[in-house]
Chain A
Amino acid sequence: MRGLIVNLVCAGVGLWPALGADPTKVPNFAPDSLTGWQLLDDEFIPPPSGPGPIVSDPAHPYISFYRFPRNPKPSFRVADLSNPILQPWAREQLRKVNERSLSGKVVAIPKERCWPVGVPAFLLLPATPVYFLQTSKQVSMIWMQDHQVRRVYLDVPHSANVKPSWFGESVGHYEGDTLVVDTIGISSKSYVDNYQTPHTDQLHVVERFHMIEDGKTIEVNVHVEDPGAFTTPWNAIQRYRRTDRSPLSEVVCAENNDDHFHHDLEPIPQADKPDF
């Protein structure tokens, strides 16, 4: 066992989580520094039954530019407002986003303009892999294409008074082959998805990460509750495909991300005055 750990450390990998868990059962999402997890699409998968995520309006189907790369006519999103999960105010806010899309204007989503995307929208970051760092006390998830990082603190309870932050406060634990992540305190400046569905500070997300298909895929089962924004809890699924092309490399979203085509896009994050 010690020899195995030395070899793993020398290869620059995350350490086996050891706190109260059998390392032969706990999922290892980062066996080496090359292993990343790649989304094939930037949409949630609806659950087999019951309330599910916002999907595209069937009258204006979203032609995903990631899922259908050979389709010459990718489209911007128009949300299906008939989804019964929406509280009226949330529906109205989505209707305004739809209006922009239907008017033919370019619709930029937050990650394209270098904003942190929050939870569970972190599960919708495509194009480049997500890398995991697992230690005995913490799991970090890092998306390669910008500085979007989640930190999950293992085997501890939530804080008594959580200050809202972009990715919230995540605590987690392993249940056999599954990493269970519980997140609260997600800033209401974020959206829950790429349709820009809003939420309140009551948002509570539970995600279960586990490998399927002989370790080739991570499936995430997502449970979302927010009585301020949604009429009911709802579920969604996401799947990542394993890739080992290259280690995490630096990509800075804000490096040169002006509105080059003058499409009246949301500005990238800016500070008008120092924070200190």
Chain B
Amino acid sequence: MKFGTLGLAGIAVAMSAIPVVAHHSFAMFDAEKSKTLEGTVKEFQWTNPHSWILMTVDNAQGQPEQWAIEMGGPGGLARQGWVPKTLTPGMKIKTIIHPLRDGTNGGQFMAVTLPDGTQMGNPNAAPTANAGAAN
């Protein structure tokens, strides 16, 4: 069957030929801005239609606040090497997001640095609606 012989590289090429595959518009995010968050994983939700990273991040006053970071669905993430336990509660991570335009605590996933220094995602992706959200 054709699909089985494609291999990951073939799939990656095929994916880039098709435009955005997200579940809803990303107009709520500011794709011209990047924001870095350093904090702790509260929860990693490996679900459709979008996976989510819930993070606890200290604000400027040192008080912990919750942030919600939206990613693509598991299908696309798995193709990029993610597994359900790539992030686990308590992990100290640094994420880069496109923040919500309304300034509240949320954003679109761009990249993350894991405790061992591994980076997933692409912090320098051009401002496309596909960044970190391929499905």
Q: Which of B2, B52, B100, B135 interacts with A128 by CB under 8 Å?
A: B135
Cα distance, A245 to B127, chains bound together (Å): 25
Q: Which of B23-31, B57-65, B85-93, B113-121 contacts A (4 or more CB under 8 A)?
A: B23-31
Cα distance, A104 to B32, chains bound together (Å): 17
Q: Is chain A's binding surface mostly helix, strand, loop or mixed?
A: loop
Whether A73 pairs with B2 at a CB distance below 8 angstroms is no
Within 8 A of B (CB), among A239-260: 243-247, 249, 251-253, 255-257, 260
- Residues from chain A with a CB closer than 8 A to the CB of B19 are 40, 66-67, 69
Whether A260 pairs with B21 at a CB distance below 8 angstroms is no
Q: How far is the CB of B64 from chain A (nearest CB, A)?
A: 18
Q: How far is the CB of A150 from chain B (nearest CB, A)?
A: 20
B9 contacts the other chain (CB 8 A): no
- Residues from chain A with a CB closer than 8 A to the CB of B25 are 65, 74, 76, 112
A2 contacts the other chain (CB 8 A): no
Q: Which of A104, A249, A252, A260 interacts with B68 by CB under 8 Å?
A: A260
Whether B52 pairs with A243 at a CB distance below 8 angstroms is no
B37 contacts the other chain (CB 8 A): no
A-contact bits for B31-50, CB 8 A (1 contact / 0 none): 11000000000000101111
A-contact bits for B121-135, CB 8 A (1 contact / 0 none): 000001111100001
How big is the A interface, by class?
35 or more
How big is the B interface, by class?
35 or more
Q: How far is the CB of B40 from chain A (nearest CB, A)?
A: 18
Cα distance, A6 to B87, chains bound together (Å): 47
Whether B68 pairs with A127 at a CB distance below 8 angstroms is no
A81 contacts the other chain (CB 8 A): no
Q: With A74-B129, A246-B3, A261-B106 as given contacts, are A255 and B22 in contact (CB-CB < 8 Å)?
A: no
- Residues from chain A with a CB closer than 8 A to the CB of B23 are 112, 127, 145, 253
Q: How far is the CB of B79 from chain A (nearest CB, A)?
A: 11
- Residues from chain B with a CB closer than 8 A to the CB of A252 are 48-49
Cα distance, A249 to B127, chains bound together (Å): 28
Whether A253 pairs with B135 at a CB distance below 8 angstroms is no
Which residue from chain A places its CB closest to the CB of B29 in the assembled complex? A74
Q: How far is the CB of A102 from chain B (nearest CB, A)?
A: 13
Whether A127 pairs with B21 at a CB distance below 8 angstroms is yes
Cα distance, A70 to B126, chains bound together (Å): 7
Whether A255 pairs with B18 at a CB distance below 8 angstroms is no
Cα distance, A247 to B45, chains bound together (Å): 25
Q: Which of B32, B48, B52, B127 interacts with A251 by CB under 8 Å?
A: B48
Q: With A72-B127, A73-B32 as given contacts, are A251 and B27 in contact (CB-CB < 8 Å)?
A: no
Whether A112 pairs with B127 at a CB distance below 8 angstroms is no
Cα distance, A243 to B19, chains bound together (Å): 12
- Residues from chain A with a CB closer than 8 A to the CB of B15 are 245
Cα distance, A76 to B26, chains bound together (Å): 9
Q: How far is the CB of B119 from chain A (nearest CB, A)?
A: 23
Interface-central residue, A63, A249, A262, by most chain B CB under 10 Å: A262
Interface-central residue, B19, B48, B73, by most chain A CB under 10 Å: B19
Which residue from chain B places its CB closest to the CB of A128 in the assembled complex? B21
Which residue from chain A places its CB closest to the CB of B104 in the assembled complex? A261
Whether B26 pairs with A65 at a CB distance below 8 angstroms is yes
Within 8 A of B (CB), among A143-183: 145-146
Q: With A128-B135, A245-B14, A247-B3 as given contacts, are A72 and B31 in contact (CB-CB < 8 Å)?
A: yes
Q: With A69-B129, A72-B127 as given contacts, are A34 and B31 in contact (CB-CB < 8 Å)?
A: no
Q: With A34-B3, A251-B73 as given contacts, are A65 and B52 in contact (CB-CB < 8 Å)?
A: no
- Considering the complex of A and B, which 5 residue pairs feature the smallest CB-CB distances, nearest first? A256-B47, A72-B127, A112-B24, A72-B31, A74-B27
